[in-house]
Amino acid sequence: MDEKTYARELFEQTFVAIQHATDVAASIILLRDAYKLSHVTYHMAQTIASRIDAPFVRTTYPPNWVSRYLQQGYFNIDPVLIEGVSRSLPFLWSELEVTPATQRLFEDATQHGLGISGYAIPIIDRCGRRALVSLNTDMPQDQWSALVVHYRAHWLELAHGLHTKALVELYGKEDPAPPLGRRERECLHWAALGKEYKDISCILGISDHTARGYLKSARFKLSCANIPQAIAKAISLRLINPV
């Protein structure tokens, strides 16, 4: 199996596993183990839009580090968290600016046997709620950066999967999915009939990459890991009727 296929399958398996997991706590363990990460944290920011009193946090960090973190008030200085909930683009921890306070935090983390490389993925949803998914590793920085570039597109989607999970856990139900547009339905319809991007773009008079964009968006809106799953779901929801 080539690397790309392997990555694709790993993503699809993890995506489905997270969907079937009981809660966010179980999901972050699945994500951590699938990609051999050291730790995964999901953090929904305290915002007016989210209407929750306390931030919603789930993490795989060991209890002794979590209590140390809280006792020392590290949430007040942790740049990953502070910047993470106001940034929009994903970032490597190594991009963060070092201050004496953050230096102390990272030294303490090292003393607790934790890696100090990471990748943080900010999430903004349609309601304007912000969340942060933070991945931690003990890998050397350059190796980690390469891995991030390799997997980041998949990690981004999985991070959104965690967010969907958290919304269900907090509010008892998912946000209503944005409705599929006409073009998205048309692209799914032709994909269901076995057409490739190239054929679909010809039929609809749009370019290749636009057909890909519509299918990607349709797949995301339907919360599916791949196009065949999205087609099946769209048919069962009677959004398309390919015959």
**Shortest distance in whole angstroms from residue 67 CB to other proteins:** 22
Nearer to other proteins, 181 or 194 (CB): 181
Using CA atoms, how far apart are residues 90 and 72, in angstroms rounded to an integer? 27
The residue written with tokens 């339905």 in the block is 185
Whichever of 141 and 241 has its CB closer to other proteins, that residue is: 141
- Among the listed residues 98, 101, 232, 237, the single contact to other proteins using CB under 8 A: 98
**Cα–Cα dist 203/95, whole Å:** 45
**Which range, of 12-20, 55-63, 151-159, 191-199, touches other proteins by CB under 8 A?**
151-159
159 or 200, CB closer to other proteins? Answer: 159
- Cα separations in angstroms, 75 against 81, 89, 107: 7, 21, 15
Say if CB 49 and CB 127 are below 8 A apart: yes
Residues 16, 26, 57, 152: which binds other proteins (CB under 8 A)? 152
Closest distance between other proteins and the C-beta of residue 209, in Å? Answer: 4
User: Does 227 engage in binding with other proteins (CB under 8 A)?
Assistant: no
Nearest Cα to Cα of residue 21 among 7, 6, 4, 33: 33
Exactly one of 2, 3, 53, 97 binds other proteins (CB under 8 A); that residue is 97
For the CB of residue 149, give the shortest distance to other proteins in the complex, in Å.
8
Residue 120 Cβ vs other proteins, minimum distance, rounded to whole Å? 12
One-letter-per-residue 3-state SS of 38-101:
CEEEEEECCCCCCCCCCCEEEECCCHHHHHHHHHCCHHHCCHHHHHHCCCCCCEEHHHCCCCHH
The rounded radius of gyration (Å) of the Cα atoms in the chain is 20
Mask: binding to other proteins, 188-217, rule CB under 8 A, as x and -? ------------------xx-xx-xxx-xx
Name the nearest CA neighbour of 185 among 146, 162, 214: 214
Could you give the count of Cα atoms lying within 13 Å of 88 in the half-sphere of its Cβ?
3
* Residue 89 lies near other proteins (rule: CB under 8 A): yes
Residues 56-85 that bind other proteins (CB under 8 A): 82-83
Q: Are 179 and 146 in contact (CB under 8 A)?
A: no
For other proteins, the closer CB: 1 or 89: 89
Alpha-carbon distance 170 to 57, whole Å? 11
Count the alpha carbons within 13 Å of 35 in the hemisphere toward its beta carbon.
Answer: 29
Considering CB under 8 A, how many residues would be counted as binding other proteins?
A: 52
> Judged by CB under 8 A, does residue 178 bind other proteins?
yes
Residues that bind other proteins (CB under 8 A): 82-83, 86-90, 93-98, 102-103, 106-107, 110, 116, 123-128, 141, 149, 152-153, 156-157, 159-160, 178-184, 206-207, 209-210, 212-214, 216-217, 219-221
